[in-house]
């Protein structure tokens, strides 16, 4: 903390000329970019003081390509932050083309072994470190207190605050011991929402006492664990600030998080291109408001353009020049972010390439858990137990189901783990059938398929690759590749899932 304050003081004693302001402003920004190669404007921005970039699934085409991309970034900006949103489980960027080799938070919470959670985070951390990535926008520390939450769900360790708190602390420990900064999210808690902040501004109406014992418990665990960063949420928490979403609330970021809770690390915004942040103002103004409220590193979003980046830089510098944004606040944000990069030094371009040659680092294919241990987290009904004990041949029908913006278009379910998937019309006579989907509410099309197959005389079970919503015979609490392999093995009677 002393280093941060002294750096900020040193910066603010110098004249605030436009070039220095732009460089300082760039030191608070974390854009994404489109494509599988680093664009020239990102390299130019690094030369002009850019703090960080964030990689997304659309930046990944193959393991070799990703290593080359990261090595190129590290070659140009050896001491900067390269971030990624690698939660493991359903939300994965490294394994966007295949699905994650980690089970995910909901499964880990069900198993409730904090050392296992730390080991899962450590495995992710070593993958990231091997690629030169030194900031992971994880873990999700939300308490999933709304059963029909459309964007958190299996990303949470569960609905019980103490469980989420202890696993959040374990996940942070495992990741940071591997040399990668963590980012607990989404402060002050996105779990009690029924709308998605990618699409609109959710509101949390719980009273302050409930928030304190429920939503804030995992973030107190973050502070106690010394976690490096925290991510804000674009939600309106009426009991804490009825006028400003958390990302733009000094009451929440400064008075609560820094003041009463004692957090000393870096405050990172959720992506400012989300509707909950910028639908009314645009990204540049949202960036200014976030800095004013107390945020330090501004995530601009996956499809940042050079024009948007320049507009955001200009908006920040104008805000300082106009007296809206104190120079001291901007300097503090830039200094905190620079200190974070120094605290978590990354592998160099040469080290990334050496590790690739040796077959170490980055995109490991090994699983942390065997399928039987993952399957211990599944809910299996008595009807499913009887179905599993039958001797007829097995057919698996997967009913395609969209995912939220956080998950994206990642392979999921048995279709990610095996070729032994058939369409409804291809089910052989006499086969028993597992019909697989996710988000199985009463209107889900899976139930129509389920009813038709049962009417044809098949023994049928319904499988939910998510949280229980009622009616499913097997609930897996996730749809990552690791979970899907365990599910496929269970359905096929312990045989190969490939």
Alpha-helical segments (H) within 361-443: 371-375, 382-389, 414-417
Pairing of β 229-232 and β 266-268:
parallel
| 239 burial via Cβ count (<10 Å: 0-12, 13-18, 19+) | middle
Alpha-carbon gap, residue 393 to 316, rounded angstroms? 64
Catalytic annotation present for 192 = no
Q: What is the dihedral of CA 16, 18, 23, 28, to 10 degrees?
A: 80
Sign (positive or negative) of CA dihedral 160, 166, 170, 172: positive
Alpha-carbon gap, residue 411 to 251, rounded angstroms? 40
In order of 178, 180, 364, 383, the CA distances from 357 in angstroms are 21, 22, 13, 50
Which among 483, 403, 479, 399 has a CA at the least distance from the CA of 150? 403
Residue 178 near residue 129 (C-beta atoms within 8 A): yes
Question: Given the structure tokens 């202890």, which residue do they identify?
Answer: 166
Q: For helices 327-343 and 2-12, give the axis angle rounded to 10 degrees.
A: 140
**Catalytic-labelled residue, pool 142, 270, 296, 332:** 270
Work out the number of other CB atoms within 10 angstroms of the CB of residue 368.
Answer: 19
Work out the number of other CB atoms within 10 angstroms of the CB of residue 10.
Answer: 11
Residue 285 near residue 318 (C-beta atoms within 8 A): no
Residue 121 near residue 167 (C-beta atoms within 8 A): no
* Cα 161–Cα 188–Cα 475 angle in degrees, nearest 5: 45
Q: How many helices (H) and strands (E) does the chain have?
A: 20, 15
Residues classed as catalytic? 270
């Amino acid at each position: 903390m002393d280093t941060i304050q002294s750096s900020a003081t040193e910066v603010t004693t110098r004249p605030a000329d436009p070039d220095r302001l732009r460089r300082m402003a760039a030191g608070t920004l974390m854009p994404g970019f489109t494509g599988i190669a680093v664009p020239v404007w990102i390299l130019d921005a690094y030369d002009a003081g850019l703090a960080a970039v964030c990689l997304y699934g659309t930046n990944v085409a193959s393991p070799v390509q990703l290593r080359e991309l990261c090595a190129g970034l590290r070659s140009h900006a050896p001491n900067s932050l390269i971030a990624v949103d690698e939660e493991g489980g359903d939300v994965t960027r490294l394994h966007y083309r295949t699905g994650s080799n980690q089970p995910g938070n909901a499964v880990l919470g069900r198993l409730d072994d904090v050392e296992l959670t730390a080991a899962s985070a450590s495995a992710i951390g070593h993958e990231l470190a091997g690629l030169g990535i030194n900031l992971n926008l994880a873990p999700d520390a939300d308490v999933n207190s709304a059963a029909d939450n459309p964007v958190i769900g299996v990303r949470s360790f569960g609905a019980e605050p103490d469980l989420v708190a202890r696993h959040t602390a374990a996940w942070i420990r495992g990741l940071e011991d591997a040399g990668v900064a963590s980012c607990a999210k989404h402060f002050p808690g996105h779990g009690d929402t029924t709308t998605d902040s990618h699409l609109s501004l959710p509101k949390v109406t719980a009273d302050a006492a409930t928030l304190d014992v429920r939503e804030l418990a995992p973030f107190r665990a973050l502070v106690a664990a010394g976690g490096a960063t925290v991510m804000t949420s674009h939600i309106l928490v009426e009991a804490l600030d009825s006028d400003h979403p958390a990302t733009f609330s000094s009451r929440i970021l400064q008075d609560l998080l820094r003041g009463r809770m004692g957090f000393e690390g870096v405050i990172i915004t959720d992506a400012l291109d989300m509707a909950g942040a910028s639908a009314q103002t645009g990204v540049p103004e949202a960036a200014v408001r976030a800095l004013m409220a107390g945020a330090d590193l501004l995530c601009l979003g996956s499809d940042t353009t050079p024009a948007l980046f320049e507009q955001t830089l200009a908006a920040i510098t104008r805000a300082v020049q106009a007296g809206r944004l104190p120079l001291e606040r901007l300097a503090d944000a830039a200094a905190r972010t620079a200190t974070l990069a120094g605290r978590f030094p990354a592998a160099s371009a040469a080290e990334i390439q050496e590790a690739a040659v040796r077959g170490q680092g980055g995109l490991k294919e090994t699983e942390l858990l065997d399928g039987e241990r993952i399957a211990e987290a599944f809910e299996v009904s008595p009807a499913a137990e009887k179905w599993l004990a039958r001797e007829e041949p097995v057919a698996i029908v997967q009913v395609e189901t969209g995912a939220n913006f956080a998950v994206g278009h990642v392979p999921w379910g048995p279709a990610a783990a095996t070729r032994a998937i058939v369409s409804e019309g291809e089910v052989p006579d006499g086969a028993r059938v597992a019909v697989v989907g996710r988000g199985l509410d009463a209107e889900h099309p899976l139930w129509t398929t389920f009813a038709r197959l049962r009417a044809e005389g098949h023994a049928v079970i319904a499988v939910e690759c998510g949280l229980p919503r009622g009616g499913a015979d097997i609930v897996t609490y996730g749809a990552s590749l690791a979970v899907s392999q365990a599910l496929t093995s269970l359905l096929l009677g312990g045989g190969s899932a490939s």
